[in-house]
Structure 1
Amino acid sequence: MTPQTHDVPDERPPGSRGERLSGVVLARSGPLAACFLAFTGLLAAVLVPFGGWIPWLVVPLLVIALAASVRLVRFVPATAAPAWVAPAVVAIAAGHGVWAALTHAEHVVLRRDAGSYALYTQWIATRHGLPIPSWLEAFGGSAALTDPAFRLSSPAYYQVVHGSAGAAGTSVDIVPQFLLGAPSVYSLGWWAAGWNGVLVMPAICSALAMLGFAGLVARLLGPRWAVLATAALVLSQPVLHAARSTYSEPIALLLVTVACALLADAVTAGNPLRVKGFLIPGVHGTDDPRLARRIGLAAGLAFGLAGLFRIDGLREVSLLLPVAAVLALRRHPATRPLVLGALGSTAVAAIPAVWLSRPYLGTISASLIPLIGGGVVLGLGSLAVVLVARRLEGRPAPALGARLTSPAWQNRWPWLLAGATALVGVVLAARPLFMITRQDPDDPGSRVVAGLQLLQGLAVDGGRTYAEHSLNWISWYAGPVVVIAGWLVFAALAAAVGRWWLNSAARGSSSSMLEGRTAGVPFWLGPAVIAFGSTLLTLYRPGITPDHPWADRRMVTMVIPAFVVAATAAATWVTRRVRRSRPWAGTGAVAVAAVVLLLPPWLATQPLAGQRTEKGEVAAVQKVCAELGANDVVLALDNRAANEWPQVVRGVCDRPSASVKITDINDTAAVAEVVRPIVARIAAAGNRPVLLAGTPEGEAVIEALGLTSRQVVDLETIEDQRHLTRVPDGEDELDIDVWLADATGVS
């Protein structure tokens, strides 16, 4: 078979002009968006550490990157699709993005991750680099570090000391918690429209992610089903919730779905022309090794560069390695570029993570080290299997191997694999009956959980993670039918993998695990393995504070999309069976599938569809900044003020800020004595000390110091509910108060 050698495959796929354009949009819009955002993250990794994230430099480079992205995605194969499909998908994605933008949160007063990302974005967009200076000299210099009550750090912003406390030349940097990728993308919104631009950027990225998801479904199940699956995903409350706030999940969802789609394309391009489909009818092979290598490299790069945006992108890269081993055993041409692209881009993504986010990596080491270790084990194990198989090539099969591949066992293996997969689902669903998952009770998250348990009338056990209920969390939003149908499809795919492997081996040499490329590889194998493995690991250990809807964002990147695709696959199978026996009932089967896929997420989302949390916080921040003068140095008094305001004051108000570490805010006399020496050092440095309180208890400390406070913020807004054991269906009230006081007289 002579391979095709054209540079731009399928540039004019068969069909009408509208069908060709529809196919191009489905196939390439997601990769185009992912390529541009990956370029943005890479550019930030180069420029931000050196203070070069400047609009006049970055924007022209990104224009070039966009042009390069348009050029690069022309290599992505595109086949004709019904002319109405792409407009429908674009309309769904755009509607999702517009609605998320209209209902966006204003989480800029830092309480949780969205506030951290927003302030991180604001800093690099306006100061152009990292790390964040501490302005230690404004607090009296290095001597301030010898005071145990003085701290420059705050949640999500770490204090990194260079030198020894009290020593000459000692300096302090403030290092933000998360990875650079998402803030670099969201900073484009700041340059366009300030806070409003930043706060709607996640909605734009989420809309682009829907295009990537639709392209994946179109490849796996057919273009028509992409419309239904995308509609089901945008109706999911966790997806909408992530799109409303400055989280990294929308970008990660785009990168991962596009990577899976490109992986399917790479396998198809390297398959023989005669390979037939499993999930959808037709032939899935073009026998173009050159194209397979190119797209395989692109898929590997997409998997690895997701690590610029989320650290758990390592999980998908690790799961990719066994898939690459299967491709190697079948001598697929995409194998080597896929692995090199994934490992190389992972190494590239690790550089800014270690350089700019090292304290954050240290705090998550309990999760990160097992993740890295698991990846190493999977990689070395996969390599060992391939090397051993190649050494055994041409030799007689061992007796045990011959027995396990005998005709009798060939009929059993698919059923065993399907049964094992189904059993895993049953065990996950049944975990609440026999298991209570816990974490270290001394973890800060445990104290949060204990407080929520007390408020919600639950037994106080702060170490609980509630991870045993993780599968039930999915059923809240997708419905139990989707969860059951999805897991049955996982089991069916496990059986299909076993059947394909045994049948393809039977057509090759019985004495070798390597029979060449005579049978090809199922194009869906890689996405299925990665989606199932990532879903299983996430459900087993979500690794997040278990209040909802906060915890549900852990399911956005892979878990909910995997269940939506799997349940849609079940719908395609049922519909085709119905049409085969009763053609007149096909429309009814599609209608039933639509109800099953769309109604449960709509019912879960509807109570929160118009919710807009944290509204008014941008104005509150502006009020605080307006009250501060050029020589003011702010000291946050109570714990709430210390959590929420130091980085706001430092980054948005451009004033030095620190906080007081206290154990009992109600002991105002003791707190006042702790505050006095800090205030004295600020005044001695030639600055005006300003005390900031966020609670009435903090204001009482101001009064105990003999000062007069003025309330500059009195905001009544709403925030997300924080349920531990039930689906959120409303909002909680949130009061934000700020009192300021001139503390010059204290010194």
Structure 2
Amino acid sequence: MTALPAIALSAWLLVAFPLLVAGWFTPLLGLLLGAPAVLVACALSPRLIPDLDEDHPSWWPVVAVLLITVAFAVVQIAYHAEALVIRRDPASYAMYTSWIAENGFLPIPQQRELIAGDDPALGYQSLAHYERDDVIWPQFMAGAPLVLSIGYWLGGLDGMLVTTPILGALGVLTFAGLTARLVGARWAPLAALVLAICLPQQWVSRFTYSEPLAQILLLGGLVIAFDALSRRRSLTGGWSTGHTLAAIAGVVLGLGVLVRIDAIRDLLPVIGFVGVFLVARRGQALPLLGGLVVGVGYGLVAGYGYSLPYLEYLADSMNPLLLIGFAVIFLTVVLTAALWRYGLPHTERVRWLPNAVGLLAILVMAGFAIRPWLWPDYGHGSDFTDQWVAAVQQTEGLPIEGSRTYYDMSLYWVGWYVGLGTVLFAVLGVALVLRRLAQRRDPQWLLPAMLLVWTVATILLRPAITPDHPWASRRLIVLVIPAFILFAVWFLAWLTRYCERSVRHGRGGPLVRSLPTVVAAGAAVALLGPTLVTSAAGIMGYRQDVGTVAATERLCASLPEDASVIVVDSGMAGAYMPLIRNVCGAPTASMDQPDEESVDRVVAAVYERDRTPVLAAPEWHVLEETTDDAEEAEREFHVIADMDPSTLMKPPTGSWDFHGSVWTVVPSPPE
């Protein structure tokens, strides 16, 4: 059951992305081709997935996890945001979704011929939308918009906005499944509850972010890989359900790149794992690799075919990442060939090595803990980011250092959201898990440990995100926070079993016999308490941008059917042009320097094309300065709502105000 979300969403993406490439991404073809693919995948997959290997499976963990999942979805739907005006990424994804759901193809045409041709006063680029030649390319990868389009088709803007809360709930369910497999079914509800109440999981689930979908695919891929590898299959044996599941796991993991390009970094350990399994003569290695190639191939086509301007913007981080990827592939091939004859080294025979590995894990985390005092980090590489960080520092009463990245605080970010107790338990847990792996015990942990430890280390080292919160918490929620919770719960389970064995082999009264229960309950409170406090005192008690959907519908309804919109304010153009173009469907351009002569020329050109020009601005006085018809202007879009604050040195609390206005007027035809 917990693998089905990842399988269903992967089946949809495998069909939906080719439809987008062909320009046929429509509700009808989605229903005719995508829906059967999802139904077939969901119908066949349960037959492949083995039951959990537990002596006395209980019903209550399943019920508890389902209740947590449903409760999470209900709460997040009730508090979902209405972020449609682009200030940061959620509205960017929403505008991407609106375009492809309505039109079914990319890129977005500029439609210059419906405005004023090649008039040099006009521009077509806006926030998260890149102008290239005579088209516009939306920012980000296609995966999340392809899934959010389902909600858009079913319920318009509101349907799109409540899709991500459902994805966030499915992420909680998927994580529970991974915990049940790696720790035990009775520990899955605790892990699911900690993830569900932590602020970043709730926060990203209320917006149209890509993180919930990426979380489902990457954690779900680990779930399916666990099931695929639960039975030993030789390299020369016949095809089996284990081979099929391994191929599915590879596809699911690889499709993470279709959702987030930085998933390439997270998947590098999978390549090394395939090499290890080839040397071990495990038959699932090649199907896993084949599926991974298919999924990553989808992502690379999407990135370099449909998000190239975005990847060019990320070139300083993407190019080194690709070089590292090629190096990992090369080293894996070389080491696999070198070890092919002799097999894997027997690390368990080196007596000091397991303890050294565990100690190294603790020392690395200790290094992250003391990093802010020894190695504060500077250098965003962006003047805009420097200015924004300086503004937040001023608001928070901090020394003004705009170049400060706060990356050295990354481990403390995790502690803010899940508590220092969870961090401590996780450090001890990962040390013990790595120690056991060095002893060649618990092989089911090898792939999850490789992927999660690598991802945690690289993200904590360089989060590569604007450091104000809750924004920066996005970087943690896909794998980092789930990894900390997973290792912490594993340590709690190990500690409880240790206490049970001690009680069983010792003597004592009722107090001693209650030790395992007391330890488990106390440690669970240590995980849940700080997590709940941060969420309750934070930003989860309001909805962001409430009223934006209704205001957008009023704005779109007010535009003439043949409207060509010219935004005469450069500040407004970046945030609102995609809304007018992608949602309202009106050809839209901007004027950075809207002097009266240029405005009159563009207005005349629009009328010459038998269309109705509409001037748009955030304030009435801007229209007054550019047209004689400002008295006729109407403010069809007007929103005053709560929005998230920004903090740098503490968890976010309270809210800021969002003010959004769009004034429009139809200027008189030239005489």
Gaps of at least 5 residues in structure 1 are 1-28, 162-171, 273-286, 395-400, 502-520, 663-669
Q: Mark the CA change 1:683 to 1:466 in structure 2 (over 3 Å): closer, same or farther.
A: farther
The 2-side partners of 1:532 and 1:681 are apart by: 60
Which residue does the alignment assign to 2:523? Answer: 593
Which shows bigger deviation, 728-737 or 627-636? 627-636
Does the Cα contact within 8 Å between 2:278 and 2:336 map onto a contact in 1?
A: yes
Deviations 1:273-329 (A, max 9, x none): xxxxxxxxxxxxxx9983432222222111111222111221222121122222223
Which residue does the alignment assign to 2:485? Answer: 564
2:667 is the alignment partner of 1:737: no
Which residue does the alignment assign to 1:267? Answer: 229
2:433 is the alignment partner of 1:493: yes
What amino acid is aligned across from residue 401 of structure 2 in structure 1? D
* Of 563, 570, 591, the match for 1:639: 570
2:541 is the alignment partner of 1:627: no
2:251 is the alignment partner of 1:301: yes
The CA RMSD over aligned residues, in Å, is 2.4
The 1-side partners of 2:123 and 2:656 are apart by: 31
Does the Cα contact within 8 Å between 2:279 and 2:343 map onto a contact in 1?
A: no
Which residue does the alignment assign to 1:197? Answer: 159
Which residue does the alignment assign to 2:64? Answer: 88
Summarize the alignment of residues 408-423 of structure 1 with structure 2, pairs less than 5 Å apart: 410-423=350-363
Which residue does the alignment assign to 1:212? Answer: 174
The 2-side partners of 1:342 and 1:645 are apart by: 39
Q: Mark the CA change 1:405 to 1:715 in structure 2 (over 3 Å): closer, same or farther.
A: closer
Q: Mark the CA change 1:224 to 1:392 in structure 2 (over 3 Å): closer, same or farther.
A: closer
What amino acid is aligned across from residue 691 of structure 1 in structure 2? L
The 2-side partners of 1:312 and 1:649 are apart by: 30
Q: Mark the CA change 1:457 to 1:673 in structure 2 (over 3 Å): closer, same or farther.
A: farther
The 2-side partners of 1:677 and 1:361 are apart by: 37
Deviations 1:633-667 (A, max 9, x none): 212222331122111111221111111235xxxxx
* Of 185, 199, 202, the match for 1:240: 202
Deviations 1:187-232 (A, max 9, x none): 1112211122111101111112222111110000000000110011
Which residue does the alignment assign to 2:646? Answer: 722
Summarize the alignment of residues 565-584 of structure 1 with structure 2, pairs less than 5 Å apart: 565-582=486-503, 583-584=513-514
What amino acid is aligned across from residue 183 of structure 1 in structure 2? P
2:376 is the alignment partner of 1:445: no
Helix, strand or coil at the partner of 2:478 = coil
The 2-side partners of 1:74 and 1:329 are apart by: 29
Does the Cα contact within 8 Å between 1:270 and 1:332 map onto a contact in 2?
A: yes
TM-score, normalised relative to structure 2: 0.92
Which residue does the alignment assign to 2:418? Answer: 478
Deviations 1:23-80 (A, max 9, x none): xxxxxx2322211111211222111233322222211323311331121332111136
The 1-side partners of 2:431 and 2:410 are apart by: 19
Which shows bigger deviation, 708-717 or 378-387? 708-717
Summarize the alignment of residues 432-471 of structure 1 with structure 2, pairs less than 5 Å apart: 432-471=372-411
Deviations 1:400-456 (A, max 9, x none): x9xx9796xx22212221222212111112121122323344454333323333433
Helix, strand or coil at the partner of 1:307 = helix
Which residue does the alignment assign to 1:703? Answer: 625
Which shows bigger deviation, 379-388 or 445-454? 445-454
2:606 is the alignment partner of 1:682: yes
What amino acid is aligned across from residue 702 of structure 1 in structure 2? E
Which shows bigger deviation, 726-735 or 557-566? 726-735
Q: Mark the CA change 1:723 to 1:639 in structure 2 (over 3 Å): closer, same or farther.
A: farther
Q: Mark the CA change 1:452 to 1:746 in structure 2 (over 3 Å): closer, same or farther.
A: farther
What amino acid is aligned across from residue 302 of structure 1 in structure 2? V
Helix, strand or coil at the partner of 2:3 = helix
* Of 47, 57, 60, the match for 1:74: 47
Aligned residues: 653
Which residue does the alignment assign to 1:355? Answer: 305
TM-score, normalised relative to structure 1: 0.83
Q: Mark the CA change 1:457 to 1:704 in structure 2 (over 3 Å): closer, same or farther.
A: farther
Helix, strand or coil at the partner of 2:616 = strand
The 2-side partners of 1:593 and 1:392 are apart by: 44
The 2-side partners of 1:539 and 1:469 are apart by: 8
Q: Mark the CA change 1:380 to 1:114 in structure 2 (over 3 Å): closer, same or farther.
A: same
* Of 127, 141, 145, the match for 1:155: 127
Helix, strand or coil at the partner of 2:664 = strand
What amino acid is aligned across from residue 199 of structure 2 in structure 1? Q
Deviations 1:151-206 (A, max 9, x none): 10111111120xxxxxxxxxx11211121111111111122111221111011111
Summarize the alignment of residues 246-285 of structure 1 with structure 2, pairs less than 5 Å apart: 246-270=208-232
Which residue does the alignment assign to 2:34? Answer: 62
The 2-side partners of 1:493 and 1:671 are apart by: 67
Deviation at 1:549, TM superposition (A): 0.6
Helix, strand or coil at the partner of 2:464 = coil
The 1-side partners of 2:388 and 2:606 are apart by: 33
2:297 is the alignment partner of 1:324: no
What amino acid is aligned across from residue 378 of structure 1 in structure 2? V
Helix, strand or coil at the partner of 2:132 = strand
Which residue does the alignment assign to 1:603? Answer: 533
What amino acid is aligned across from residue 20 of structure 2 in structure 1? V
The 2-side partners of 1:473 and 1:288 are apart by: 48
Summarize the alignment of residues 15-34 of structure 1 with structure 2, pairs less than 5 Å apart: 29-34=1-6
2:323 is the alignment partner of 1:383: no
Does the Cα contact within 8 Å between 2:348 and 2:439 map onto a contact in 1?
A: no
The 2-side partners of 1:290 and 1:47 are apart by: 31
What amino acid is aligned across from residue 430 of structure 1 in structure 2? I
The 2-side partners of 1:535 and 1:575 are apart by: 26
Which shows bigger deviation, 129-138 or 684-693? 684-693
The 2-side partners of 1:479 and 1:460 are apart by: 28
